[in-house]
Amino acid sequence: MIRVLELLTTTAPGGGPRQVYDLARRLPRSEFELTVAGPRDGPFFERFRALGLAVAEVPAGRLGARPLLATVRLIRRLGIEVVHTHGKGAGLHGRLAARWTGVAAVHTFHGIHYERYRRPLQALYLGLERRLGRWTHTVIHVSPTQEAEARRLGLAAPGRGATVINGVDLDEQDRSLAASPLTRADLGLRPGLAALGSVARFDPVKRLDALVEALQFSNRRDVALLLVGDGPEAARLRRRVAAAGLGARVVFAGWLDDPARVYPLLDLYVAASTKEGLPLAVLEAMGAGLAVVATDVPGHRDVVAHGTTGLLVPPGDARALATAIGALLDDPERRARMGRAGRARVLSEFSIQPMVAKTAEIYRAAATASAR
């Protein structure tokens, strides 16, 4: 039995918690025993408990001795052999604790985000990540573009990096959509409007304000925007919508238990992020047969085939975003063709089984190294 500690910076919806949730349900319990630790700041904390996992509350997103010492105690008490960290705070505390206790560390970058730091802090962050990378058995990248960026930045020691592509389970998604459908009325979408949609944590990197700006530039009264999620940008975004006079056509749905249920209600999926690791929401939307308009940035570039499964536009250009949205809304046949191509691509290139299998291989190798 390989005992793995999954340490999360947050249990709010996002790439890290979702990946751990998928792994916990699919890794063979006859071989792997997972414990999850992280702050009680989101719905995944209870979802992990509902799976029957041991779950510990550790404020891994905060700097300080408390999360480090709590992680060390967990490792020793539970006989952990592999610590798998997700996010900056967890990546720091978990890898320090693994080094302290002599067990193997695995770290997944769910996007490499440092550009918003002031220049001295950028250098400090990258220098720290390079040091931690040398103490990490395997640094996992969720997309090829992210791996290329990590190599350029020197964030993984030679021979210690692996690309494990994020995946989604379309069979499970299809069953969920059939068993628990939503209607536009459930979400407050007015009838007769074309519906754009985005599922995301309301974080500056997601640039949800650019979607609102694109809705303004389009100057169309027959289009509504559905935003599923929440986060630190929520209040500012609501003020932006009100100031633009778009309150009747922008719907804030909050977090939904299964956000994939909104996809059949949409005409087009839109994403304006300035950077991604590998966006699961975009994969799910494509898997549901939606064409996508997204910014041409790492992560999106790995998923959306421009002109085939959707359109890519320059980041930060709301007019270009509005133009691409309008072009696809006005061409239902092209939109449907892109939706079919997108689903086929997800089925062939982004299924969940390879992600689980490759992660299991990494855990086995790390546990063997830890035992030496």
**What is the 3-class SS of the chain, one letter each residue?**
CEEEEEEECCCCCCHHHHHHHHHHHHCCCCCEEEEEEECCCCCHHHHHHHCCCEEEECCCCCCCHHHHHHHHHHHHHHCCCEEEEECHHHHHHHHHHHHHHCCEEEEEECCCCCCCCCHHHHHHHHHHHHHHHHCCCEEEECCHHHHHHHHHHCCCCCCCEEECCCCECHHHHHHHHHHCCCCHHHHCCCCCCEEEEEECCCCHHHCHHHHHHHHHHHCCCCEEEEEECCCCCHHHHHHHHHHCCCCCCEEEEECCCCHHHHHHHCCEEEECCCCCCCCHHHHHHHHCCCCEEEECCCCHHHHCCECCCEEEECCCCHHHHHHHHHHHHCCHHHHHHHHHHHHHHHHHHCEHHHHHHHHHHHHHHHHHHHHC
**Residue 57 Cα distances to 11, 19, 71, 370, angstroms:** 10, 18, 10, 25
pLDDT tens sequence across 265-322: 999 999 999 999 899 999 999 999 999 999 999 999 999 999 999 999 999 999 999 9
pLDDT tens sequence across 25-45: 999 999 999 999 999 998 999
Domains of the chain: 2-167+352-371 (3.40.50.2000), 170-349 (3.40.50.2000)
The pLDDT of residue 372 is 67
- Whole-model pTM: value is 0.93
The pLDDT of residue 55 is 97
**Residue 229 Cα distances to 22, 193, 294, 330, angstroms:** 20, 21, 18, 27
Q: Which of 279, 254, 281, 256 is nearest to 269 (CA)?
A: 281
pLDDT tens sequence across 58-90: 999 888 899 999 999 999 999 999 999 999 999
